[in-house]
Amino acid sequence: MDTPLVSVIVLNWNGKSLIEDCLNSLIKQIYKRTEIILVDNGSTDGSVELIKSKFRDRVKLIENEKNLGFSGGNNRGIRASRGDYILLLNNDAVADEKWIEELIKVVEKDNRIGMCASKVLSYENKDIIDNVGHLIYRDGLNRGKGRLEKDRGQYDNREEVFFPSGCAALYRKKMLDEIGLFDEDFFAYGDDTDIGIKGRLAGWRCIYVPSAVVYHRYSGSSSAYSKLKAFYVERNRVWIAIKYFPSKMLLVSPFYTFIRFLFQAYGALTRKGASGKFVEENSKIELLKILFSAYFAAIKGIGMMLKKRKKIRLLKKVSDAEIYRWFEQFGISAREIALKE
């Protein structure tokens, strides 16, 4: 059997201080049948000049005139790729030399696997977990599985996970040909949730590969608790619920959001969780402003998302009962998603 071609896409936006380590880790991969595609989202920090001077012969460079976001930028890379598999790697991440090899070993064994999640560890503290796949709350918000836990070997077994982090993900090209690419209306944050659920609705599996290791500087290319991130996270999780939740689950999802808000309000007051960190960097008033603006934007997009929901239902190969089972198997509590960092 021919060795499959792997297309690795690295999205960059003003990551001059990060990109060299990232690209060098890809060049040093044991698995050699690869193409590296770097998509630059309109950087102004000299990133492009650095890439042209140091990686001209090793990297295919795509330059966007403006920032197209995570979804638009990666879609340009995917459209330009030739591989049987698409790998995404954040510009603020560094891959272990066996990263690609370990992923390909697993995905080639089962043609039902459409996605693979990596073992993502903290770049600064390599015994701390960034994520080993993702979990989801019943209103569409997600959190990295294992985040900030000490790596004691508790996630050293290969297993099914809900979907991979876009920081270090493998997607089978055949799956993407079937379900389509990232939703460019999302721009950033929640894009990996969106495409992960869509793949699962179409009947594809996602496997976590613990031997495929990546080291990630969490939000190294953007602030972890920025206003922009808070806006996109909240708006996009509403759109995810509209696009994918069964009707009954969609109707009760505001109740779960209300419960989450109670915990997040407590977090803001006690400086715990993401809301607490956001308030430390900004203010409670700013948090409320962001939430209102996110909901206003989400409501404006409801009609567009309902049209997409109809199209997505045509891909659906699983029952609503199976979707409910996902939220049991891969679910997360309101307390955990609100109060953990």
3-state secondary structure 177-234: HHHCCCCCCCCCCCHHHHHHHHHHHCCCEEEEEEEEEEEECCCCCCCCCCHHHHHHHH
Pick from 181, 216, 251: which residue ends a domain?
A: 216
Same domain? For 236 and 211 the reply is no
Pick from 169, 185, 216: which residue ends a domain?
A: 216
Give the integer Cα–Cα distance in Å for 216 and 120.
7
- In this structure, of 173-187, 219-233, 240-254, 285-299, the range with the lowest mean pLDDT score is 219-233
Same domain? For 76 and 191 the reply is yes
Same domain? For 82 and 143 the reply is yes
Task: State residue 1's pLDDT score.
Answer: 60
Q: Is the pLDDT of residue 219 over 80?
A: no
Same domain? For 249 and 190 the reply is no
CATH code assigned at 37: 3.90.550.10
Q: Please tell me the pTM assigned to this model.
A: 0.95
Pick from 195, 216, 237: which residue ends a domain?
A: 216
Q: Is the pLDDT of residue 115 over 70?
A: yes
Asked whether residue 104 is assigned to any structural domain, the reply reads yes
Range of the domain at 157: 6-216
Mean pLDDT of 142-168: 97
Pair of tokens at residue 72: 């638009």
Q: Is the pLDDT of residue 222 over 70?
A: no
Same domain? For 28 and 154 the reply is yes
Give the integer Cα–Cα distance in Å for 95 and 258.
39
Mean pLDDT of 159-184: 98
Asked whether residue 1 is assigned to any structural domain, the reply reads no
Same domain? For 69 and 189 the reply is yes
Measured from the Cβ of residue 77, the count of other Cβ atoms closer than 10 Å reads 21
Q: Is the pLDDT of residue 155 over 90?
A: yes
Count up the domains in the chain and report the number.
2
Same domain? For 12 and 55 the reply is yes
Task: State residue 119's pLDDT score.
Answer: 99
**Residue 170: strand, helix, or coil:** strand
Same domain? For 173 and 265 the reply is no
- In this structure, of 59-63, 136-140, 281-285, the range with the lowest mean pLDDT score is 281-285
